[in-house]
Chain A
Amino acid sequence: MHNYFVRWKALAAAMVAASAVAAAQQPAPQEKPQTAVELILRDSSGAQTRLAVPDLLALSPDRETTEAARTIGQVLWDDLNYEREFYMIPRDTYKSIPAAPSITTVPYDRWRELGADGVVIGTVQKVATGIRVELRLYNVRAQQSIFGREYTGSAANPRLYAHTMSDELHESQRSLRGVARTKLTFSSDRNREPVVGTVEKREVKEVYVADYDGANARRITINRTLNITPSWSPDGRSIAYTSYRTGVPDILISNIYAGTMETPSKGSGQNWLPVFSPDGKRIAFTSNRDGNPELYVMNRDGSDVRRLTNNPEIDTSPTFSPSGTQIAFASGRSGTPQVYVIGVDGAGLRRISQESYADRPTWSPAPYNEIAFTARTGPGFDIKILNIGTGETRQITFGEGTNESPAWSPNGRHLAFSSTRAGRLQIFTVDRDGRNLRQITREGNNQTPHWSQ
């Protein structure tokens, strides 16, 4: 009876969480293919192409449409700016350029004066099912439309139109997989709820997801306990994490759109820090089931458990290589925590870091053969990147606050990490070259980010 109740409660909690996400998740905008030939906009001199994205034109006078028009322009500018493939001309410099009366009448001379190579002109119109958004990229010099998209869908989240356009524009113009539609998951104490059943003053940490830019944050767990180290499944539909729901750490998987939950390790010892293999079929994790923190790999459903390490010191923090054949992890076997690599078959162990303390390796997606990790650099930590091919290590953060838990974006161009540089513990993103630092979270303390693939 007691068990039944607990299970029912957990299921109900998971369903509530899932429906909250499902409600936020609108159907992806439907797209009408353009017939116009798509051309590539590139500065012939080799300089960075200069783009402008003015506010979209609201073709309906209602508030929802006008706000969507403003939001989409700003978010699209931000999305394009994020990948640094184009030089994005600051939006306040073209406020004086009059809005085009239609999507086909573009004041090319004014844009040329501004030094724009390309300009994205768009319209938003209210329709029965929501809004219709049309966007075109014009080559200012050639005075022609070279890329265009038309979307219809819900007006609930206009940012999604901008994200979709940004990803498609990057794909078409630069063969680049942008991150505008990716999401971050992380653990946060922002609800400030006390943990159930302790005498000490302790606050819960729950798992959240948010857009890559921090917008649309949603809570995933309602366990009233510690829920940390979330990790996406490759298809972006599930999150595995460490939960203290039963009083001790164990691995839970929340299927965030289906509203279901899985407990793959089924009571075998204490288990934490799960990560999915690149094909989503296996999970690597740390467990004390044999009396000491060691690394294990199991199928997603908990079957076929294999132990990877066997030594009296700590082995933890696994990450799969892009091919899924190797695992990097942290081990204290040399006396201090260092990063090691081992085959998923347990063969070929080698140490790859030479730090005073190194943890939380995270293997970058191809084509980069690199591992980002947390390194002790003083009283606190910084993020470093090790190139496996050359063996060289470069530092990404430099002692501003303490910086931990790096996680790669799916295109390998950015890292998310946690940092105290702004006071409390917050999620930031930074590019692989250390530039383009952005604060993603602002509410409560936020930690252990992971980027959807």
Chain B
Amino acid sequence: MRHAKALIVLIVLLTVVVAACNKNKPPVARPMPPPDPGVSSTVTDPPPPPPQPVMEPTIVPPMPAEDAIGSKSLDDLNRDSPLRPLFFELDSSDVSAAGQQVLQANAAVLKKYPGMQVTIEGHCDERGTAEYNLALGERRALAAKNYLVSLGISADKVKTVSYGKEFPFDAGHDDSAWANNRRAHFVITAK
């Protein structure tokens, strides 16, 4: 009995230590951990997972509760954003089927929170030139915005900006880094 108690205490302690260790990781804004698969079963209409992006959640997270968005600061909201990025093929600004799913989910969030304003950042990978990427990133952001507008989102809630390849999300030089950097990224500017 005593032993069992001690064991439980030890396990609890270990869990706390592990949790603490996780907390010590450097604070990085963008990578979001995939949501707990247990939670996903509550989603009634799960869209197919987007093809490649490894670092992105494969399942639309349940809509955050009203107060979760209301109480969070903009910085916190953007750190763990209810709006997901969409990804593009090399040299392309075409919104893929997976990208459309992402935009539909984002549009639902925007409709739920009518005060929300966003800037869509267009980003490119290093396989394009610095100059041309400024235009390509703008086209990616515009493509995402136009699709949102077609879903009934008011155009004046959505701004666009291109960063070309100036602010890569992944500093690597391989396929997965490039795929991760070819994106339209949502930043909430008002809620």
List chain A positions with a Cβ less than 8 A from chain B: 198-202, 205, 226, 228-229, 242, 244, 247-249, 270, 272-273, 286, 288, 291-293, 314-317, 330, 332, 336-337, 357, 359-360, 374, 376, 379-381, 402, 404-405, 418, 447-448
Chain B residues touching A, majority SS: mixed
**A359 CB, nearest partner CB in chain B, Å:** 4
Total CB contacts across the A-B interface at under 8 A: 91
**A360 near B131 (CB under 8 angstroms)?**
yes
**B142 CB, nearest partner CB in chain A, Å:** 7
Contacts A200-B30, A381-B129 given; indicate if A272 touches B134 (C-beta within 8 A).
yes
For B134, the chain A residues whose CB sits under 8 A away are 229, 242, 249, 272-273, 286, 316
Chain A CB within 8 A of B180 CB = no
Q: Sample 23 A-B pairs with CB under 8 A, ordered by A number.
A: A199-B187, A229-B131, A229-B134, A244-B161, A247-B161, A248-B159, A272-B134, A291-B142, A292-B142, A293-B135, A293-B139, A314-B135, A314-B139, A317-B132, A330-B131, A360-B129, A360-B130, A360-B131, A374-B131, A402-B126, A404-B129, A405-B131, A447-B130
Tell which of A202, A248, A293, A332 has the most Cβ of chain B within 10 Å.
A293
- Among the stretches B63-71, B98-106, B162-170, the one at the interface with A is B162-170
**A226 near B129 (CB under 8 angstroms)?**
no
Chain A minimum-CB-distance residue to B188: A199
**A226 near B163 (CB under 8 angstroms)?**
yes
Contacts A200-B167, A226-B166 given; indicate if A448 touches B132 (C-beta within 8 A).
no
Chain A minimum-CB-distance residue to B169: A200
List chain B positions with a Cβ less than 8 A from chain A: 28-30, 75, 78-79, 91, 119, 126-132, 134-136, 138-139, 142, 159, 161-163, 166-167, 169, 187
**B131 near A249 (CB under 8 angstroms)?**
no
**B161 near A359 (CB under 8 angstroms)?**
no
Chain B minimum-CB-distance residue to A201: B29
For B187, the chain A residues whose CB sits under 8 A away are 198-199
For B139, the chain A residues whose CB sits under 8 A away are 292-293, 314
Chain B minimum-CB-distance residue to A318: B131
Chain B minimum-CB-distance residue to A272: B134
Chain B minimum-CB-distance residue to A200: B29
Please tell me which one of the listed residues B30, B75, B127, B135 contacts residue A286 in the complex, with CB atoms under 8 A apart.
B135
**B113 CB, nearest partner CB in chain A, Å:** 18
For A293, the chain B residues whose CB sits under 8 A away are 135, 138-139
Please tell me which one of the listed residues A288, A359, A447 contacts residue B132 in the complex, with CB atoms under 8 A apart.
A359
**A405 near B29 (CB under 8 angstroms)?**
no
**A2 CB, nearest partner CB in chain B, Å:** 16
8 more A-B contacts (CB under 8 A) besides A286-B134, A292-B142? A226-B166, A229-B130, A270-B161, A286-B135, A293-B138, A314-B139, A359-B132, A376-B127
**B130 near A201 (CB under 8 angstroms)?**
no
Chain B minimum-CB-distance residue to A313: B139
For A317, the chain B residues whose CB sits under 8 A away are 131-132
Cα separation A402 to B135 with both chains bound (whole Å): 20
Cα separation A247 to B121 with both chains bound (whole Å): 11
Contacts A200-B30, A201-B28, A228-B166 given; indicate if A316 touches B130 (C-beta within 8 A).
no
Chain A minimum-CB-distance residue to B189: A247
**A87 CB, nearest partner CB in chain B, Å:** 37
Chain A minimum-CB-distance residue to B73: A199
Chain A minimum-CB-distance residue to B93: A314
Cα separation A418 to B28 with both chains bound (whole Å): 29
For B162, the chain A residues whose CB sits under 8 A away are 249, 270
**B78 near A199 (CB under 8 angstroms)?**
yes
**A374 near B129 (CB under 8 angstroms)?**
yes
